[in-house]
């Protein structure tokens, strides 16, 4: 399957590459990008190993840096109510 540059979108904000200055792609050969999926039916079980490529744009990276600098902490689920 071919991926065209217009199809690449930031996995955080959803903007396409044409609307941001830079798009960063995750490396392909890391363990965190590989997901094992087990599919079962009445007749067979199949195990697939899928490499997941993610993208993040320069704007989202800037937001992440700002959050880290501010020491922002995501509240735990029980603290939200």
State pLDDT tens for residues 19-75. 999 999 988 766 555 667 777 777 778 777 677 788 999 999 999 888 888 876 766
Please check whether residue 51 is in contact with residue 1, taking contact to mean a CB–CB distance below 8 angstroms. no
The count of other CB atoms within 10 Å of the CB of residue 62 is 10
Confidence of residue 78 (pLDDT cuts 50, 70, 90): low
Beta strand ranges found along the chain (DSSP E): 23-25, 34-40, 45-51, 55-57
């Amino acid at each position: 399957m071919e991926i065209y540059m217009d199809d690449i979108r930031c996995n955080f904000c959803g903007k396409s590459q044409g609307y941001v200055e830079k798009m960063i792609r995750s490396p392909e050969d890391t363990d965190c990008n590989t997901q094992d999926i087990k599919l079962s039916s009445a007749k067979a079980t199949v195990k697939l190993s899928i490499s997941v490529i993610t993208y993040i744009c320069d704007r989202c990276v800037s937001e992440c840096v700002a959050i880290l600098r501010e020491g922002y902490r995501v509240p735990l689920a029980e603290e939200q109510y």
